[in-house]
């Protein structure tokens, strides 16, 4: 199963909106076939592994990171192929929560006399597919927010300049996280201040994530650089007159109780468009609003070895946090040096007496 998970990671940047799935077929202690799902419309992991195993699949054990599919989509059902190949048992890491599967794949295999087990290395498989699981089970994508700042928590200098607080290695690392997302979310203030491209600039990498601009009052200029990269762009507004800028689609998720863009509804819109993971690269207002609304599932914080001072720009503005005991708490998932900068990967956690 560890090998199947390693194979599944090959689809980390390309499989979305489908889950990242790997498969290993073992026969008498030896691996007979390997496969992974590379992209939507392409062969599933089980089909690729069966093709490699050929006749050796008969009587073999199949290790797959997600329950085999049982429906006709862009490709035939994997359970049908496994049954036809004569495998003896199937061990899967996770049950597929998608309504078109949701246990039906395992039931079909059992009715065919194939032994089925589920749950082996489930935590690792779940971590690999946080976005897919979130979209299916919660109706919204997995939200990962990136922050970059100084030792004293400043994201920009007193002059508003933010290029570059962190080093080149940290910026390349940020592009890798951007690349694995289905969409990059930013705010209009960031667009107006920095005019970012928000594309993926990695050698040999061709993916272009969807770009979403939270732009309540429809101020996105037609000259914005993010409109020139070839990426699909969504402008999320509360209300607006006239047409969206060329090369941009306008959506209206509605307003929250304060008259601002309803961020929860925007995420639901993205889920309906099969976006699994959203990577947030925004200013302190939008990032803070997402944090305060408890919509952030994971934080990536890059901390540069420098001090900017009290007049620098904050990492986040948190509406409603007025006292120390209202501060937000996080648990550390990972700590890593990236060049000269420290990268922290964090997840929200609850504390008694805190938000």
Residues acting as catalytic residues: 46
Q: Length of the chain in residues, anyone?
A: 355
d(CA 213, CA 147): 17
Write b or e for each residue in 215-252: b if 16 or more Cβ atoms lie within 10 A of its Cβ, otherwise e: bbebebeeebebbebebebbbbbbebeeebbeebebbb
| Rounded Cα–Cα distance for residues 41 and 353 (Å) | 49
**Joined tokens for residue 166:** 């962190």
Structure tokens at 126: 């779940």
Q: Is 28 buried (19+), middle (13-18) or exposed (0-12) by CB count in 10 A?
A: exposed
Can you tell me the distance from the alpha carbon of 109 to that of 20, in angstroms, rounded to the nearest whole number?
21
DSSP secondary structure letters along 278-318: EEE---HHHHHHHHHTT---EEEEEE-S----TTSEES---
Contact predicate 292/316, CB 8 Å: no
**CA 102 centroid distance within chain:** 22
Question: Which residues partner with 222 through β-bridges?
Answer: none
Q: What single-letter DSSP state applies at residue 67?
A: P
């Amino acid at each position: 199963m560890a090998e199947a998970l390693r194979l599944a990671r090959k689809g980390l940047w390309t499989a979305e909106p489908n889950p990242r799935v790997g498969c290993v077929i073992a026969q008498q202690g030896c691996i007979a076939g390997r496969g992974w799902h590379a992209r939507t419309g392409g062969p599933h992991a089980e089909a690729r592994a069966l093709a490699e195993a050929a006749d050796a699949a008969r009587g073999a054990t199949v290790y797959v990171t997600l329950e085999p599919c049982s429906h006709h989509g862009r490709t035939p059902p994997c359970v049908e192929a496994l049954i036809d190949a004569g495998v003896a048992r199937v061990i899967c890491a996770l049950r597929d929560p998608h309504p078109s599967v949701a246990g039906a794949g395992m039931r079909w295999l059992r009715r065919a006399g194939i032994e089925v087990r589920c749950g082996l290395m489930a935590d690792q498989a779940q971590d690999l597919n946080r976005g897919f699981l979130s979209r299916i089970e919660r109706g919204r994508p997995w939200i990962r927010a990136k922050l970059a700042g100084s030792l004293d928590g400043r994201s920009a200098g007193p002059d508003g300049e933010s290029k570059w607080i962190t080093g080149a290695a940290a910026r390349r690392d940020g592009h890798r996280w951007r690349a694995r997302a289905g969409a990059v979310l930013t705010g209009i203030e960031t667009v107006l201040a920095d005019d970012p491209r928000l594309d993926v600039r990695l050698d040999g990498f061709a993916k272009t994530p969807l770009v979403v601009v939270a732009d309540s009052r429809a101020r996105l200029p037609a000259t914005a650089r993010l409109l020139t990269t070839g990426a699909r762009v969504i402008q999320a507004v509360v209300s607006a007159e006239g047409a969206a800028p060329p090369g941009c689609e306008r959506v209206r998720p509605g307003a929250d109780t304060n008259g601002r863009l309803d961020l929860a509804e925007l995420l639901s819109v993205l889920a309906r468009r099969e976006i699994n993971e959203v990577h947030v690269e925004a200013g302190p207002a939008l990032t803070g609003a997402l944090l305060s609304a408890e919509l952030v599932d994971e934080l990536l914080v890059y901390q540069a070895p420098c001090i900017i001072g009290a007049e620098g720009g904050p990492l986040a503005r948190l509406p409603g946090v007025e006292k120390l005991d209202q501060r937000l708490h996080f648990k550390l998932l990972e700590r890593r040096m990236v060049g000269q900068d420290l990268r922290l990967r964090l997840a929200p956690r609850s504390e008694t007496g805190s938000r």
